A and B are shown apart, each in its own frame.
Chain A
Amino acid sequence: MGFPTGKVQLIYAKSKVYVHPSKNKKDNLPGYLYIYKEFPTSTNDELIFGWIPEESLDEDSDQYNALKKVDLGSNSEFFKRPSNYGNFSFSVKIKELYSIQFRPPSIGWWFGSIVLNSKNDFDALPVLFFHDDESQSTINEQERKKRNFEVFGEDNQLFWGGSMFLNEFKKYGNLVKSTLESSVYLINPNLEDLNNFSPNRTIKKNNNNKINPSNFSKFFQNARWTVLENLAKITKFTSDRITDLNDQLTEFNDPYINKILKNPEFSRINDEYGGMAKIYLAKWAMDIKEQSDRSRKLEMDDKYRDVLDRELGLNKENNIISEQDILNAHEPSRELTPQEWNSFFDSSGRLNITVTEVKNRIFHGGCNETIRNEVWLFLLEVYPWDSSAKDRKILRKTFEEDYKILKSQWKDDEEIQHDLYFKDQVQRIEKDIKRTDRDLEIYKREVQNNNEEEEEEELEIKNQNLLCLKDILLTFNRFNDKLGYVQGMTDLLSPLFYIFRDETLTFWSFVKLMDRMERNFLHDQSGIKNQIDTLNDLVQFMLPELYGHLESNHSNNFIFFFRMLLVLFKRELNWENFMKIWEIIFTNYYTSQFQIFIILAILQKNEKILINNLNEFDEFLKFFNDLSINYQENFDILDLLTRSELLFLKFRSMIDIIDINTLDGELSPISDNLRLLLNKDIIIQRETKRVIG
């Protein structure tokens, strides 16, 4: 029995398989993946496998209808042989294929994809991306699995469009999983092919390689790297391609990823396949990246530098920053110890090294928590750096006296106590103090598990430490009466009290901290807006690709960093980590606005995840707000700080290079906001008049 004239038999089709010709989503080409039988007598390895873009298909044509039907479950349909002339369209006999690599959705790759390697070196076949959320047959299968509680595909791997295709493909060819790289399947391999991927050969190659295996974790000893190198040769990938693949090294058969997959939360989210799953996956990807970065770093400290070099494009050739700078940045982070700190002072209690040296030391490692109550007084310049122990003793006395006077100005003044604005401020302060860091031992409710007492607490603060915070804020409210109390200040004050446990010292260090922070709290919001604008300029300058992505999604207003800027990461990081970040910011070592570079580093670290996964304002906001959850535990602060520093150094060199190349009289492309980032003096912007609210 022959086929109808001019027709071939379509036996497999998959809808919404895309080619991504560029990084720009607008260029993405949807199409159909298909397998057809050319003649009734065709053997399995003579089946034709190919892809055709939707744009080459006429709607309602037989060709289109056949593809649609087979995608949705029809066993086979006769149709006209698809043309090979469309954009990126191709068709090859199965026997011409060498291997297929299946890349499930993973880190920063929202869409799973397959990489086809033809035996013919000249055929560059496009990478095909499965847009599972659009393909009706995948959605149907997902629904079916959900109903049967099979969330994952075979081998406990995440189900995706590619796994459906793999199952189908196995019917037509002998697919042999590479023993080295489990994501790669060789198609009808001969002995020689198998040998190419044999472990013996791998080990030999490894020894010739300049990469020393001892630097790698077990992860790499599995020789994935070598496999990737082999793959690169076969497919003539560029070195960029290897970098991309490297990012994907965390495959689903790694223990920690399996752990995440087993998390009931994951299946729950999978069920709610709608909007939120995307954000979850992005966060999940970030989490994995975080973990894999860490596991890798344990054994490849010097490799780590290269990774950062590559990610930041910092290399010796372009000389953007000197080798010494990088080495400094990667000095192992070591807290300033009490012994070290004491050795900085001579017998009269005066510094015997320069302030820059002290700041350099604190900037690179922070300080031990037991000396924060001394170090921060210098960092915040409550005590002058050049003071002697005797000077400080006198100062301390003055502080006590002055604070007493300031406090009595409202506490002992009945008129003020009855002032409407003052009463209003008392209410505001009490409301916020009641909900500041109540999980900390020093601020806990005095009585637990007693409803009546708890109710009382709603109305009246009883905790002595909280009452102390209240007095400090009310005194500050009088002391800086144009600014007064504004929401967010309790978050800045509470850590200071935690460190000093002394009302007077806490007050004066808060006053000093507020010099730097006042611009965040102005009524017209100009100070915080200025920082957001600066961040905008900086991302545009340093991460243009990410900026373009945010811009094209109307999300380049950077409002999602409001909270990080307002209270300096206090809500995102755990207690120890934000304190470290604070003291590093307080040094003004490179710039008085280091917080902007920390945010830049967060963006840079997540750049790929953001570009590949998220494209709505809501999604960006949720992603950054929820960093607070992800960053509470298992947070790699050294990575963040190193990255921030390197970004600053790169920024500074870029400005230098631009300045050198800008002729006299020519308008500089560097905005004032950006230039101000090189300034080490804190920016003080005062409220000009008291505004209520």
Chain B
Amino acid sequence: MPLKKKTLLKVIILGDSGVGKTSLMQQFVNGKFSHQYKATIGADFLTKELSIDDKTVTMQIWDTAGQERFQSLGVAFYRGADCCVLVYDVTNPKSFENISSWKDEFLIQANVKDPENFPFVIIGNKVDVDESKKAISQKKAQQYAINLGNLPIFQTSAKEAVNIDQAFDVIARNALQQEENEDFNTDFDDAINIQLENDNQNCAC
């Protein structure tokens, strides 16, 4: 009797260098923040067990390097992703402008089946900084998220653990939905295959 497979949700975090991708992941998984994180080289992941309603799932969160040229490696890491998190830094307008290119880049690299419906979540990080240093208003960001396809958006602080759990709860739910849709699609494909095989058997060769 095979064991029922645990649900694994694969989440990819993308965004410009220094927006706080590693910090977000560390705060969510380990509940800590450090000033000593180093620039991420290559990619790494952490996992965390979560309960969504009655279901226990394992979330696997992938943290990648932010510099653009390293994204061509992405293809090895993005495969099988269930949700993609796009992060910008509220004090850095450029990182905000780049959100849509990160989204496009992901869709190209991950070779997603149904790009229109693939779940993305936007996070504006570092809201703990002084109001005067914020370059992107919440309103502007929200409008932008609507334009990008009604994407959920959160304003977080990885440093002070603001809104982290709320954001990751939505990420998890979206990822779970995506995973279940995929399962359904796979079953559907199998049904077709069986049909074809039967046809082959019927032919007199």
Question: What residues make up the interface of A, taking CB atoms closer than 8 Å to B?
Answer: 133-134, 136, 139, 272, 274-276, 428, 431-432, 435-436, 438-439, 445, 454-455, 458-459, 486-488, 490-491, 521, 523-525, 557, 559-560, 562-563, 566-567, 571, 617-618, 621-622, 625, 691, 693
Contacts and interface: CB of A to CB of B under 8 A. Distances in A.
Max chain B Cβ within 10 angstroms of own Cβ: one of A272, A435, A487, A525: A487
Contacts of B129: 455, 458
Interface string B32-66: 00011111011111010100000000101000011
Interface in B1-26: 1-3, 6, 8, 17-18
Contacts of A275: 6, 8, 47, 58
B76 interface: yes
B73 A559 contact: yes
Given A432-B39, A566-B41, A486 B67 contact: yes
B144 to A, nearest CB: 21
Nearest to A558: B76
A52 to B, nearest CB: 17
20 contacts: A133-B3, A134-B2, A272-B49, A274-B6, A274-B58, A276-B47, A428-B67, A432-B39, A435-B37, A435-B38, A439-B36, A557-B76, A559-B73, A563-B42, A567-B41, A618-B45, A618-B60, A621-B44, A625-B42, A693-B68
A134 B3 contact: yes
A136 B1 contact: yes
Nearest to A691: B69
Contacts of B69: 486, 521, 523, 525, 691, 693
Nearest to A625: B44
Q: Which 6 A-B pairs have the closest CB atoms?
A: A693-B68, A431-B18, A487-B67, A562-B42, A563-B42, A563-B41
Contacts of A445: 35
Contact of B65 (A276, A435, A487): A487
A525 B58 contact: no
A431 B65 CA distance: 13
Contacts of B49: 272
Given A432-B39, A567-B41, A525 B73 contact: yes
B65 A454 contact: no
Contacts of A436: 38-39
Interface in B111-137: 129-130, 133
Contact of A562 (B1, B8, B73, B133): B73
Given A435-B39, A625-B42, 8 more contacts: A275-B58, A428-B67, A435-B36, A487-B65, A490-B39, A525-B69, A563-B41, A622-B45
A562 B76 CA distance: 12
Nearest to B37: A435
A139 B130 CA distance: 53
Max chain A Cβ within 10 angstroms of own Cβ: one of B8, B58, B72, B73: B73
Contacts of B41: 487-488, 491, 562-563, 566-567, 571
Contacts of B2: 134
Contacts of B70: 487, 525
Max chain B Cβ within 10 angstroms of own Cβ: one of A435, A486, A491, A523: A435
